C-alpha cells in the first residue's frame, strides 16, 4: 500500500513542480504569454463566431422566404367554397410551391390574437375579413401574378417583394 502511495505522491509532486515552473516562466515573459493567450482565444472564438453567423443566415433565409409570400384577397361576397374551387388550378400550377386558403374565421382569430383592435372587431359583431389565399411561389412570380390578377373575384394582391 505504501509503495502505491509513494508512486502517487511522486507523480503528484512532479506535476505540481511542472505546474509551478510553467507559471513562473509565464510570469517572466508577460508579452509572449499575452500573445499566446490571444492567439488561443482567437482560435476558440472563430468557430463560435462562424456558428453564430450560420444561425443568423438561417433565420434570414426563412424571413426572405416569408417575404416572398403572395396574399390574394377576395371580394367580400366570395365564399370559402368558391375560393377553394378557384384554387384548384393554381395548386397544380408549377409556379406555385404551396397554396393555403385562409377562411375569414381563421383570419379573425389571428387578428384577435395579434392586435389590440380585437375589441373593436367584437363591437362590430360581424366578420369583415375576406377569404385569402396565401401562396408561396416556386421560382419567378411575374407570370403567377399576372394569372392571379386575371381572376375576376380577386380584389387585392399583396406581394411583399414588389
pLDDT at position 48 is 92
Angle at which helices 30-67 and 2-28 cross, to 10°: 90
Does residue 159 contact residue 133 with C-beta atoms inside 8 Å?
no
pLDDT at position 128 is 78
CATH of region 68-159, choose from 3.40.50.2000, 3.30.70.3040, 3.10.620.30, 3.90.1150.200: 3.30.70.3040
The values of phi and psi at residue 46, to 5°, are -60, -50
Does residue 148 contact residue 74 with C-beta atoms inside 8 Å?
no
d(CA 153, CA 82): 9
Does residue 95 contact residue 139 with C-beta atoms inside 8 Å?
yes
What does each C-alpha distance from 51 to 7, 44, 58, 118, 140 come to in angstroms?
Answer: 45, 12, 11, 41, 31
| β-sheet with 132-137: strand ranges across | 96-102, 132-137, 70-74, 154-159
pTM of the model: 0.56
Count Cα neighbours of 158 within 13 Å in the Cβ-side half-sphere: 9
Does residue 95 contact residue 138 with C-beta atoms inside 8 Å?
yes
| Residue indicated by cell numbers 515552473 | 21
pLDDT at position 91 is 84
Examine the pLDDT at 2 and tell me if it is beyond 70: no
pLDDT band (50, 70, 90) for residue 44:
very high
Q: pLDDT tens digits, residue range 58-93?
A: 887 776 655 678 889 999 888 889 888 888 888 888
pLDDT at position 104 is 85
- The mean pLDDT of the chain is 84
pLDDT at position 17 is 94
pLDDT at position 12 is 93
Q: Rounded mean pLDDT of 51-56?
A: 91
Q: E-assigned strands of 75-130?
A: 96-102
Give the start-to-end residue ranges of the domains of the chain: 2-65, 68-159
Amino acid at each position: 500500500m505504501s509503495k502505491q502511495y509513494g508512486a502517487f505522491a511522486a507523480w503528484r509532486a512532479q506535476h505540481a513542480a511542472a505546474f509551478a515552473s510553467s507559471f513562473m516562466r509565464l510570469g517572466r515573459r508577460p508579452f509572449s504569454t499575452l500573445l499566446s493567450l490571444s492567439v488561443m482565444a482567437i482560435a476558440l472564438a472563430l468557430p463560435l463566431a462562424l456558428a453564430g453567423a450560420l444561425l443568423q443566415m438561417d433565420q434570414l433565409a426563412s424571413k426572405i422566404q416569408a417575404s416572398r409570400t403572395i396574399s390574394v384577397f377576395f371580394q367580400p361576397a366570395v365564399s370559402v367554397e368558391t375560393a377553394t374551387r378557384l384554387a384548384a388550378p393554381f395548386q397544380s400550377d408549377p409556379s406555385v410551391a404551396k397554396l393555403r386558403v385562409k377562411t375569414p374565421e381563421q383570419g379573425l382569430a389571428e387578428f384577435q390574437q395579434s392586435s389590440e383592435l380585437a375589441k373593436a372587431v367584437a363591437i362590430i359583431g360581424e366578420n369583415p375579413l375576406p377569404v385569402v389565399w396565401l401562396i408561396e411561389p416556386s421560382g419567378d412570380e411575374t407570370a403567377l401574378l399576372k394569372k392571379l390578377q386575371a381572376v375576376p373575384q380577386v380584389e387585392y394582391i399583396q406581394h411583399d417583394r414588389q
